[in-house]
Structure 1
């Protein structure tokens, strides 16, 4: 027997083994498979600990365990990953396990990053939006936290162990032949699928609790994640992604329900003094990148953060309970809601997935009433596919980065200063009356302004923080807006123009809330993450007015059209939003299904259907005549 090869350094004498001894030996020799399963389970628990956490930069194992609602399903999906190692032979099985570990870790860490930014895990729909990543790496890297090293710290250690012990490796005699490895793979894979399918049948098909389905898309993404578990969520997300390629059909019942929801939302109140107050004037909408409401009227070290906006409030209608409602399309969702009064789709970006959907839009209605219309962005038209989307929505002209000289680039693209400077003459010479929709860019995260544009003197505890950088960024953009409006005023444009200013979404709180809470000493006004953005309707010489009514971005279109004297029959039957200048309701429905304001629980259930109805309307081109 000495002349025959053994399985590594250990001689295997099958005759000397009892059944229990053989099982122990095989398990001992499968150490990498068992360790990989344990490591991936631990990483799943760490990732799940971030879900529902107010601080997603702290590892909370207890929370992670409690958030995994179906443990068997979680382990079954991990076993599927581990089972693939049986398709390799010999030492390559160990390296394959390491690669599988790395790929899962890579997915988990970007899930953590995306969760911090958007309250959800990565979606397969994002594969359609990879073009956006080219100029967003700074923002992406800013979302990593030191705790994320836990997802990768084991990889180099295991790699070193495999390299050092490569000559000592021996493979279990049970899994040497191709046949035995295929049987092992098929057995483990089938067992895992059986557990998943069995759990699905027991819970989703025959279960009695409709709020605890394993595979179901809930209003709050966290609920979907906790029920499906990390890998289960991605498997279900892939299923939904490919299911979405089927042609969308809408039943007459669904069509009736959508229209009824829209009509029931209308209050049919008598007109008030706001009706037609801006009739015949130009409309200039400024969508300001990352502008949150909490900075309005605030100062640091005696310096106003937004002196221009504060000054405009003296001649403005200011909505101080106005909320962002963007979903996965972020800024492009804001473009959509402002100009259509329709919620964005539940998955992915509406402009990427459905750029050719028809709407009864703000530019179409304004054009019908004699207005020339332009959409103006300082970034490339392919960014979020906004140019395709806004062109189809109905703007007569869309101006993107190709029309500008890139003489000063800050982070994502053309600086706001150069942008406003180059576009002012186009606006001054434009045929009136006009509706122009403009978007700024410079105040985008990660809020790293060039030194020459940092005008605020900050305390040492704010310098080199994301919050301090945010103050500098917003202060710069505010200054650029001030210079721009001064130039329009000198040319006489503001004598007959209404300027609507709002933020596209929350940002510094959305992405860096955990870091804001760690700034010491802190101030109450910057701590609250409430998702409020300002809405300011400025007209030269107008008396100031603060409106406390709670509303959101889908409400802007009907509010503007009402103030411009457009008959309600032209937009009420297609708007998911309501007119904030003439309403007795005080609520807003956010993208994650949460409500703000005052709305009784009985009515919330019906209002929640609006998210699904809007999704259905966009997918089926509901508003196409």
Structure 2
């Protein structure tokens, strides 16, 4: 049988069928395509959906494979065959390495990761025996067979080789396919390279080999910028920051020192939702109550300042008081390699346990690498939530918020106190997908714009989840022992939906002034020792960290932070947008036009008074300098030159966010630092105090009992209307019935 196979193989490569070198080229190309596409679906989680994405995935391994294999066509004899084997082997090694790395870290290898020596050299190689599967080596099977065929001369040598024209045409075909695939990818995913927020997207659309090329260019650009930088560049920046820094408010400085800090990140949540009603019903009753609480400082002139990085820009500002980049994401481009002086690292060195919670994959926005650079002790991503494996528990970009928050409480109760915990919600994320349960809780608006109309429904669900979490905090005592700040990361409805925005705001015409107001997001600070109220100070996300440090009594005179303390009496109240526009208490610049802040009247710069022109010019100079200096710090990695003695640079090798090591570390922390909620409760879980209206969290028996109770109530209440009976399946956390709903 083997002999017959060899005879057929030799016959296939003979001149009677096809030129041997061409046949060998096609076989190598076929196997590279086959094993790459197979691993796309087996080893990687690319989220390929729809016919177009499937077509792109089938095409994207071909361009670079053709280009690399075509190099052999410029040679003759067996040398050409061996060059093809080498090119196949190089691509297979890259595939194999990413299979192993992705299995452990849910991400793709990058040059910065490989050169760092920590992520690969220490984390991957030390557990290689546990990572690799015997079946992984099947990707090399075709290479082994082809090598044996060459060694035993079962493949006829093409001594004459091919004409140079044929080789050139083959290489050209590969280049044409590169542009074809990029065109298809860009059509399906606009801004793919400028908004490269997840390596999974690059691989899904461009291919694993193209990702390597993209990452090489990206790394080169970073290296050039970084290599040109020097310590002297930091001095004028530090001097400028010190000159413009608003002093702390002695009334607030240190009043919440030593408290837990809980950061509640409301995805795509805008300020207009606070106190907003649909058909007479509050969209966000729980957040409204929190906003107006007697111990909550609420800012009603607080703006998102994100650029293309969206959520990642918000996180960069909140944790570092550094702006996002003019294009792309700082977390993606520099999160792995740069030195930062982030809030979690600073607080960790002051005795805080620091943790981030996100119900999506750890690679999104490069969080799994960036959080190490920022000094988070723990990062609880999707792999830590068993409920996330069930499709019905996920909508859009991750887990349903109610399930995510309830399961996050499992880990929060184990964090040694004091802790700094950032909780990132995802259900209220564009395109605001709903399920039957979410849709039944609240009516959609009727603008005719599907995205806008469902926005209030997912926002209401987020609000209900927030209310349930706050109730658990109160039940455990955590509420009164924590500083809680809540913020919306960026707009939820873009300016592309102006007709619908007009209906929501009850305006016939939307101006740039209205669009500027639409950039407002909530910012609330709560602690039981704060005198609450509405604060009208103008500010943005860049100002949050200095404000937090004021309340915690953390001196930041020597830090590189571009924001101002919102509680300072000398705050400049200049809100810089990423594109150079701005908002002040008197004048707004939006999309190149100017407006009076208090009444929305348009201002003509040409016809404005000298005083107004001078104010606009001075403000613009401030904004431009602030953005330029921040970009210089990030792109040049200038914080590596900061020699402050009271801050120890983060060593990323000390962090591991994989499931096993994280849970082991958390368990050990209960012993070494027995200050967590659970430890203080005698080692018993406090999850029984968590009450949720999310049906997915209930046991089958409790669901049955609950439905029986509903049926009995419906029979007893003949006057109930259809709306009340349909909405009774899931009650908002703020309703009276939620406290009696069964819990798991």
What interval of TM-score do these two structures reach, taking the shorter chain for normalisation?
0.5 to 0.7
Aligned counterpart in structure 1 of residue 500 of structure 2, from 506, 516, 526: 516
**Residue matched to 1:565:** 553
**Residue matched to 1:308:** 286
User: Structure 1 residues 397 and 526 mapped into 2: Cα distance closer, same or farther (>3 Å)?
Assistant: farther
Equivalent-residue separation in structure 1 for 2:267 and 2:230 (angstroms): 39
Equivalent-residue separation in structure 1 for 2:236 and 2:299 (angstroms): 31
User: Structure 1 residues 431 and 446 mapped into 2: Cα distance closer, same or farther (>3 Å)?
Assistant: same
**Residue matched to 2:228:** 249
Deviates more, 1:252-261 or 1:545-554: 252-261
What are the equivalent positions in structure 2 for 1:106-145 lying under 5 Å apart? 114=190, 122=191, 124-126=193-195, 129-132=198-201
**Residue matched to 2:266:** 288
Q: Please state whether the residue corresponding to 1:248 is helix, strand or coil.
A: helix
Equivalent-residue separation in structure 2 for 1:525 and 1:277 (angstroms): 47
Equivalent-residue separation in structure 2 for 1:348 and 1:311 (angstroms): 36
Equivalent-residue separation in structure 2 for 1:109 and 1:350 (angstroms): 25
**Residue matched to 1:475:** 460
**Residue matched to 2:251:** 273
Deviates more, 1:487-496 or 1:271-280: 271-280
Report the Cα offset of residue 451 of structure 1: 2.0
Task: Check the 8 A contact 1:378/1:401 in 2, yes or no.
Answer: yes
Equivalent-residue separation in structure 2 for 1:538 and 1:128 (angstroms): 32
**Residue matched to 1:431:** 416
**Residue matched to 1:264:** 243
Q: Greater relative contact order: 1 or 2 (C-alpha under 8 angstroms, separation 6 or more)?
A: 1
Aligned counterpart in structure 1 of residue 303 of structure 2, from 307, 323, 339: 323
Q: Please state whether the residue corresponding to 2:291 is helix, strand or coil.
A: helix
Equivalent-residue separation in structure 2 for 1:280 and 1:556 (angstroms): 18
* 1:591 equivalent in alignment to 2:578: yes
**Residue matched to 2:563:** 577
What are the equivalent positions in structure 2 for 1:218-233 lying under 5 Å apart? none
**Residue matched to 1:498:** 483
User: Structure 1 residues 423 and 521 mapped into 2: Cα distance closer, same or farther (>3 Å)?
Assistant: closer
Equivalent-residue separation in structure 1 for 2:637 and 2:376 (angstroms): 18
Report the Cα offset of residue 548 of structure 1: 1.2
Give TM-score scaled by structure 2 length: 0.52
Report the Cα offset of residue 248 of structure 1: 3.0
Equivalent-residue separation in structure 2 for 1:451 and 1:390 (angstroms): 35
Report the Cα offset of residue 568 of structure 1: 3.4
**Residue matched to 1:175:** none
Equivalent-residue separation in structure 1 for 2:504 and 2:379 (angstroms): 46
Q: Please state whether the residue corresponding to 1:317 is helix, strand or coil.
A: strand
**Residue matched to 1:613:** 629
Task: Check the 8 A contact 2:319/2:343 in 1, yes or no.
Answer: yes
Task: Check the 8 A contact 2:357/2:421 in 1, yes or no.
Answer: yes
Task: Check the 8 A contact 2:313/2:329 in 1, yes or no.
Answer: yes
User: Structure 1 residues 534 and 326 mapped into 2: Cα distance closer, same or farther (>3 Å)?
Assistant: same
Task: Check the 8 A contact 1:414/1:442 in 2, yes or no.
Answer: yes
Equivalent-residue separation in structure 2 for 1:252 and 1:284 (angstroms): 35
**Residue matched to 2:524:** 536
User: Structure 1 residues 308 and 105 mapped into 2: Cα distance closer, same or farther (>3 Å)?
Assistant: same
Equivalent-residue separation in structure 2 for 1:418 and 1:304 (angstroms): 23
Report the Cα offset of residue 254 of structure 1: 2.8
User: Structure 1 residues 601 and 420 mapped into 2: Cα distance closer, same or farther (>3 Å)?
Assistant: same
User: Structure 1 residues 445 and 256 mapped into 2: Cα distance closer, same or farther (>3 Å)?
Assistant: same
Uncovered stretches (5+) of structure 1, i.e. residues with no partner: 1-86, 89-94, 115-121, 137-237
**Residue matched to 2:436:** 451
Q: Please state whether the residue corresponding to 2:241 is helix, strand or coil.
A: helix
* 1:485 equivalent in alignment to 2:470: yes
Report the Cα offset of residue 525 of structure 1: 11
Equivalent-residue separation in structure 2 for 1:296 and 1:133 (angstroms): 37
User: Structure 1 residues 514 and 241 mapped into 2: Cα distance closer, same or farther (>3 Å)?
Assistant: farther
Task: Check the 8 A contact 1:286/1:500 in 2, yes or no.
Answer: yes
Equivalent-residue separation in structure 1 for 2:493 and 2:233 (angstroms): 39
**Residue matched to 1:336:** 316
Equivalent-residue separation in structure 1 for 2:286 and 2:504 (angstroms): 27
Report the Cα offset of residue 322 of structure 1: 1.2
Equivalent-residue separation in structure 2 for 1:442 and 1:411 (angstroms): 7
Deviations 1:284-315 (A, max 9, x none): 00111101111111111111111111011232
User: Structure 1 residues 458 and 398 mapped into 2: Cα distance closer, same or farther (>3 Å)?
Assistant: closer
**Residue matched to 1:375:** 356
Root mean square deviation, CA, Å: 3.6
Report the Cα offset of residue 266 of structure 1: 1.1
Give TM-score scaled by structure 1 length: 0.61
Equivalent-residue separation in structure 1 for 2:197 and 2:487 (angstroms): 28
Q: Please state whether the residue corresponding to 2:584 is helix, strand or coil.
A: strand
Equivalent-residue separation in structure 2 for 1:398 and 1:260 (angstroms): 35
* 1:352 equivalent in alignment to 2:340: no
* Paired positions, count: 422
Task: Check the 8 A contact 2:444/2:456 in 1, yes or no.
Answer: no
Q: Please state whether the residue corresponding to 1:275 is helix, strand or coil.
A: coil
Report the Cα offset of residue 100 of structure 1: 11
Equivalent-residue separation in structure 1 for 2:368 and 2:441 (angstroms): 35
Report the Cα offset of residue 559 of structure 1: 0.3
Equivalent-residue separation in structure 2 for 1:391 and 1:480 (angstroms): 28
Report the Cα offset of residue 595 of structure 1: 0.8
Equivalent-residue separation in structure 1 for 2:227 and 2:431 (angstroms): 38
